[in-house]
Chain A
Amino acid sequence: MTKDSDAQRVVIIGAGHAGGTAAALLRQYCPEWSITLVGEEPVPPYQRPPLSKAWLKGEADADGLALKPSSFYVEQNITLLSGSRVVGIERGEQRVHVAGGASIPYDYLVIATGARAIPLRTPGADLRGIMSLRTAADAEALKAAICPGQSIAVVGAGYIGLEVAASCRSLGMNVTVLERETRVLARVACEALSSFFTDVHEKQGVHFELGSSVVAFEGERGQVTGVTLADGRTLPCSAVVVGVGAAPDEELAREAGLECDRGVLVDLDARTSDPKIFAIGDVTRRPMPIYNCMFRMESVPNALEQAKQAASAIAGRSRPSVEVPWQWSDQYDLKLQIAGYPFDADSIVVRGDPRQSRFAVFHLNGDLVQAVEAINAVPEFMTGRILIGNRKAIDRRKLADASVSMKEVCA
């Protein structure tokens, strides 16, 4: 007779933030189960956010980035296979195949393969010195290329691009940010925020080329020396960082016949179209109950939430309550905190004074807060997050009046 609590085997593909967190939670929930964590990168799970900030500035070391020390996996009896690539999932046999020939059986499988930085295909894109920033190895290469007084071109003015720009500028490099849209953070923030950040960077001496496309990279002896724009100008540089987005690593899932659509499709238990297989983190497209849509999020809080969803479902525990999505970005001494997404927003309320570098932009649908973007404005961010979750209508005039506390706005 088999009991539900008989030790089961869980295999997690991908030892990043989501995979590492899922492994730790599963061990907590299921002390006797077999847990195997397989990661392509040669290091144990670590945090990526510091790679564009503290790491570049020399304020963090490799041990500091690790989610848990290596001893944790040994002590917790989690089999960590670093530097191992899964090449196939055999659903019928419930096995995953690892490059080199080994196969690992599973009772439950968690796909946490994340996303990869999208490369540029422009002529010259394979020159040395053109880098993306996703992994610790990428960050090491970028750090080695930082040289005060030299010029670096950053392609893409999203979070990665702007954080790298801020870090490199702080370290004394000449920085030019190239963005094909007409404003920075075009995909993730509103116009008011775009203008604010452009101003901040420009005051620090960062140069922007907005509405600008890269048509080629120039090089000498295989090393990049410049970026050529559509208008014919070539901007000299000794290094380039490309931050134009990330694509979900869904190939294993797709090849195994799991439902995918620009990401592995999952429900609120992080379960895929196969009841024994879960997917978590940047690789997934998931339901957003607050907004009644499916979305692929790229954030640490989402990785953590989905790790909890999958671990709870696998362990037979009750589903964790849905969290309001949020993310943050640190540039210079500014803390940008964003809660929610401005889906279905029909108006904006600005609270505080952008000129004081302490303000928030609320996106409303009628009198309901859909999203808040806060700059050095913790109460606005934290309260906004609560309002997005509890769907409580607010008084717009109070919200717009910074002399009325956020506590009063919620009352």
Chain B
Amino acid sequence: MAKIVFIDTGHVERIVDAMNGQSVMDAARRNSIPGITAECGGACACGTCHVYIDEAWFSALGERKAAEVEMLEYASDVRENSRLACQIKMSSALDGLVVRTPERQG
């Protein structure tokens, strides 16, 4: 189990428990976290689970696959620390991961 701290554009923090192997998108959906649409349900097909990963954590995540990098090019307000939440798998090493949701998806 690991905790994820979601922070929205209004600076509201919501902390959820995620299971090892579960994606950040999935954890968000199961806990009704607003700001992540995930239209395709995690198939890396839509780009609407775009999130910003806190600088301190970014390098702890794995490398982005080509499909994710390409998909991110079409999201809004993409930054250096942008990721697709459906492609980040949680583990105890990521306990306390801080994830910020964007102004809008798509």
Contact = CB atoms under 8 A, between A and B. Distances in A.
B43 A69 contact: no
A69 B30 contact: yes
B59 interface: no
B31 interface: yes
Q: What is the interface residue range for chain A against chain B? A: 20 to 34
Interface string A39-74: 000000001011000000000000110111101100
Contacts of A301: 39, 46
A376 interface: yes
Contacts of A376: 67
B44 interface: yes
A328 B40 contact: yes
Interface string B67-94: 1001101100000000000000000000
B14 to A, nearest CB: 13
Given A335-B67, A376-B67, A378-B67, A72 B32 contact: yes
The secondary-structure label for the interface of chain A is helix
Given A69-B32, A335-B45, A382 B39 contact: no
- Which of B32, B43, B44 has the most chain A CB atoms closer than 10 A to its own CB? B43
- Which of B29, B45, B47, B67 has the most chain A CB atoms closer than 10 A to its own CB? B45
A337 B70 CA distance: 14
Nearest to A24: B32
Contact of A328 (B26, B29, B43, B74): B43
B22 to A, nearest CB: 8
A120 interface: no
Interface string B16-56: 00000000001001111000000111011111000000000
Nearest to B45: A328
Interface of B: 26, 29-32, 39-41, 43-47, 67, 70-71, 73-74
Contacts of B39: 300-301, 304
A396 B41 CA distance: 34
Nearest to B47: A382
Contacts of B32: 68-69, 71-72, 75
B13 to A, nearest CB: 18
A295 B71 CA distance: 28
Contacts of A304: 39
A379 interface: yes
What are the 8 A-B residue pairs with the smallest beta carbon separation, nearest first? A378-B70, A328-B45, A382-B74, A47-B41, A72-B32, A378-B71, A69-B30, A379-B70
Interface string A335-354: 10100000000000000000
Given A67-B29, A300-B41, A335-B67, 12 more contacts: A47-B41, A49-B40, A49-B41, A68-B29, A68-B32, A69-B30, A69-B32, A330-B43, A335-B43, A335-B45, A379-B70, A382-B71
Contacts of A64: 26, 30
A231 to B, nearest CB: 38
Contacts of A71: 32
Contacts of A378: 67, 70-71
A68 B37 CA distance: 11
A300 B30 CA distance: 19
